[in-house]
Structure 1
Amino acid sequence: MGISEELRLAPPVAPGPTVPAVSLATLALLFLRIGCSSVGGFMAMVAVTQHMVVDKRRLLSTEDLLDGLALASLMPGPVAINVVAYVGYRLRGVAGAVVCMLGAVLPAFVWICALGTLYFRYGNMDAVRTVFLGVTPAITAVVLASAWRLWRGAVRDWRQGALALGAALLLTALPGLPSTLLVLAAAAWTGWKYPRPALAAGAPAPATDANAAPAAPAHRQQQGGDDAAAPTPRPRRRAATALAALGLPAAALALLAAHSAVLFTLLCAFAGMSLLTFGGGYVFIPLLQHTVVDGYGWLSQREFVDGLALTQLSPGPVMISSAFVGLKVAGLAGAAAASAGMFIPSAALMLAASGMVERLRRSAPAQAALAGVRAALAGMVFGAAVTIGRMAAPSWLSLALGGAALLALLRWRVDAAWVVAAAALLGWLAL
């Protein structure tokens, strides 16, 4: 009997320990902090989420977060916000997903609207860049620290180490969706074809923080007694609930926007772009340019480039540039309509597909494939750290701030939000 046959006959992997209960208010404050300290693209937000949710508070396991990242990498829309929605859903269901998304997006939305208002009034924001001289090295350190912790949790043998190293090298040299899909496919096949002995034998994973997977979202475990042991809703019912709950705000906004052709057009245009964008924010830039500059003429080429620069100086995902475009077209209401179109549809799809991850955890062959994918994702985070680090100013100050931030994160476990804030202040004072 071959390994593939053994895997088919292996019993399901036993669920890990339950995740601790957490209130919606706590999640809102936590993700507001994450949103404020996630400068540098989607992987920066993923890294800060991993630091805050997994390392500091142990609300989820490393493997659970990596599973969400793997699914988000295959879904349309902003990867970081899809991961945030997944984390919120795992902790408190659809309500948790909505709260976490709002907390993560709100700081970037407010920041872009404030900077955009100043930009459209004065036309120059070069002075703001000085504040962020120290932010890029600090965010690079946050991503590196996250990659190291993910590596320790996901890499267990030389094959997984080779997958992680190969993913880091390939994604550094050839970033983009094709490379990401190639890495994930190769990692899944390698993990399935050459499983670790424990997975091949169908043994449950050890209940450690590095590889424990929650049995059910925490909002179901808070009820206690018989309710805590109740079966989870069927996947179709859960998908319908997720789509309805996240679709209601979009539908309400659509009805309001129907009274304004411009707001309705913004909502639909960015919803379409959200569902057509695979691979993260930087893949979204060419589509955004074609739509808002060449198609609708909402921005000039100079305004488009300056808007992207402002998003690099703001916390949160690159796709918050939707708020910049909406602000130019229809003020604050336009910014809200464009942002809702950008983030809500893809997040609803992400939650509808989250049941796939829970089903995969009950399959030994899928667990073997996911082990390979998790190792590759750890390497991809290393590659993202290199990409972000290249954006830092080439100076001794960047090296010093990055080294100090990495030491604070790994040695003293300082909160990432404080590390980023201190680096921003030091970078501004050094000028």
Structure 2
Amino acid sequence: MRAERAAAPTLADLAWTFVRIASTSFGGYMAMISVIQQVVVERRKLLASQDVLDGVALASALPGPIALNVAAYVGYRLRGARGAAVCLAAAVLPAFALMVAFSAAYARWGQAPEVGRVFMGLLPAVAAVMVSAAWQLGAKALPGRREAALAAGAAVTLLCTNAWYATLLLIAASALLGRYWLPAGPAAAAGATTEPAREAAPAAVKLPLLFCPPQLLEACLAPPAQLLLQLFLTFAGMSLLLFGGSYVFVPLLQHAAVDAHGWVSRREFADAVALAQLMPGPAVVSVAFVGYKVAGVAGAAAATAGMLLPPAVLLVLCAGLLERVKSSAALGAALRGVRAGVVGMVAAAAVYIGRAAPAGAASLLIFALALACLRRYRSDPIWVVPPAGLLGLLVY
């Protein structure tokens, strides 16, 4: 069935929407994807559920931060390349601003503020957001027993392994099972998609920069600009190796920032990773800490831009190709399998977050209250997650 859609939002509306989404996305990349599903599909009806699942599948198969790539994909589907740029910038802005603020505090006082009890309350609420998203996604992506079995298999597999390549293998396996095992059906729900505004992706002009000899570029710049360029190019190269989420990112970042360049000490690096766990959005925001330590706010911006821009450009280019081939029956069947697998991955991520919450009646109460607000009253996560943190401050 065709999803009921609202009119295409303005760029300013998209920016505000994704700032709000990012501000409540605690708990890793699946938490942000869950909030995107809750706001973009359920509340705003800007895209169909299948569209978001396609974005998750594409982002999982490409390098870069998965949640931010999904944000860029949603923006591209709604407003073309400009929408992708706006959504990407808005999705990282809250975490970036908080990380810069914490980095400044760290530089002055040597440690971050203690907010442990607040985040003990956030975790059950984040798990509830993810359970709600899996519920909503499953209602449309699991029409039969085979799709449900595929989703369950993906969830169990993800819960039983922490290997960095697990997500990639699950996406590939889901596509194969969708193509050859699921019953015949419509090709990728082609009627439920919207074409983005066709325009040349302005970010694409930045790609040649990544292939220019760094020595040639640095020779043309003053020393402060050379340092910013070095930060950008270092993290741009790393971003194209980032598959499978932050588990593979941490050792790569440590090698570059600590061993290769000596930008931060091992203690400072460990503190940066710890701070990233307190931020909404993806853990890759820890590169802002490294950039700030090297060159202040400009360095934080250069490091973050290097980590985000190349994967986002690659995703936009591949998203345009995906739209042209989605009418293929074979690809449509594969995407049906991927959508079912993604439902299982979201459910598994909810279990991971739930396990991290403190055991006891208080966590169960916060989880139940948050899930009731999300499912029964259709509350926006922005009105559910922060109050849960305040409740955690009182009860733990």
TM-score, length-normalised on structure 1? Answer: 0.85
Residues 141, 402 of structure 1: 8 Å contact kept: yes
Equivalent in the alignment of 1:105? 92
Equivalent in the alignment of 2:276? 311
Pick one of 424, 427, 430 that aligns with 2:389: 424
Pick one of 327, 333, 341 that aligns with 1:362: 327
Give 1:242 deviation, angstroms. Answer: 4.8
Residues 164, 377 of structure 1: 8 Å contact kept: yes
Q: What is the rounded CA distance, in whole Å, between the counterparts of 2:285 and 2:353 in structure 1?
A: 18
In 2 relative to 1, CA 268–197 (structure 1 residues): closer, same or farther, beyond 3 Å? Answer: closer
Give 1:94 deviation, angstroms. Answer: 1.1
Secondary structure in 1 matching 2:384: helix
Pick one of 235, 243, 250 that aligns with 2:204: 243
Q: What is the rounded CA distance, in whole Å, between the counterparts of 2:272 and 2:222 in structure 1?
A: 24
Pick one of 303, 318, 321 that aligns with 1:353: 318
Equivalent in the alignment of 2:57? 70
Secondary structure in 1 matching 2:72: helix
Give 1:181 deviation, angstroms. Answer: 2.3
Give 1:269 deviation, angstroms. Answer: 0.9
Give 1:246 deviation, angstroms. Answer: 8.6
Equivalent in the alignment of 2:343? 378
Q: What is the rounded CA distance, in whole Å, between the counterparts of 1:153 and 1:257 in structure 2?
A: 55
Is residue 328 from structure 1 mapped to residue 293 from structure 2 by the alignment?
Answer: yes
Residues 166, 244 of structure 2: 8 Å contact kept: no
Pick one of 146, 152, 155 that aligns with 2:142: 155
Give 1:129 deviation, angstroms. Answer: 2.5
Q: What is the rounded CA distance, in whole Å, between the counterparts of 1:96 and 1:215 in structure 2?
A: 14
Give 1:256 deviation, angstroms. Answer: 7.5
Residues 17, 213 of structure 1: 8 Å contact kept: no
Equivalent in the alignment of 2:34? 47
- Larger mean CA deviation between 164-173 and 356-365 belongs to 356-365
Q: What is the rounded CA distance, in whole Å, between the counterparts of 2:266 and 2:191 in structure 1?
A: 49
**Structure 1: 5+ residue runs without aligned partners?**
1-13, 206-210, 221-231
Deviation string, structure 1 residues 72-115 (Cα, Å, up to 9, x no partner):
00111111111100000100111111111111111001101111
Q: What is the rounded CA distance, in whole Å, between the counterparts of 1:258 and 1:191 in structure 2?
A: 54
Residues 61, 212 of structure 1: 8 Å contact kept: no
Q: What is the rounded CA distance, in whole Å, between the counterparts of 2:391 and 2:114 in structure 1?
A: 16
**Structure 2: 5+ residue runs without aligned partners?**
none
Equivalent in the alignment of 1:4? none
Secondary structure in 1 matching 2:240: helix
Give 1:352 deviation, angstroms. Answer: 0.8
Is residue 169 from structure 1 mapped to residue 156 from structure 2 by the alignment?
Answer: yes
In 2 relative to 1, CA 391–161 (structure 1 residues): closer, same or farther, beyond 3 Å? Answer: same
Residues 78, 194 of structure 2: 8 Å contact kept: no
Q: How does 1:70-149 map to 2 (within 5 A)?
A: 70-149=57-136
Pick one of 210, 215, 223 that aligns with 2:194: 215
TM-score, length-normalised on structure 2? Answer: 0.92
Q: What is the rounded CA distance, in whole Å, between the counterparts of 1:304 and 1:215 in structure 2?
A: 43
Q: What is the rounded CA distance, in whole Å, between the counterparts of 1:184 and 1:132 in structure 2?
A: 31
Give 1:15 deviation, angstroms. Answer: 8.7
Secondary structure in 1 matching 2:115: helix
Letter in 2 for 1:285: V
Q: What is the rounded CA distance, in whole Å, between the counterparts of 1:69 and 1:197 in structure 2?
A: 23
RMSD (CA atoms): 2.6
Q: What is the rounded CA distance, in whole Å, between the counterparts of 2:30 and 2:79 in structure 1?
A: 23
- Larger mean CA deviation between 188-197 and 24-33 belongs to 188-197
Give 1:281 deviation, angstroms. Answer: 2.1
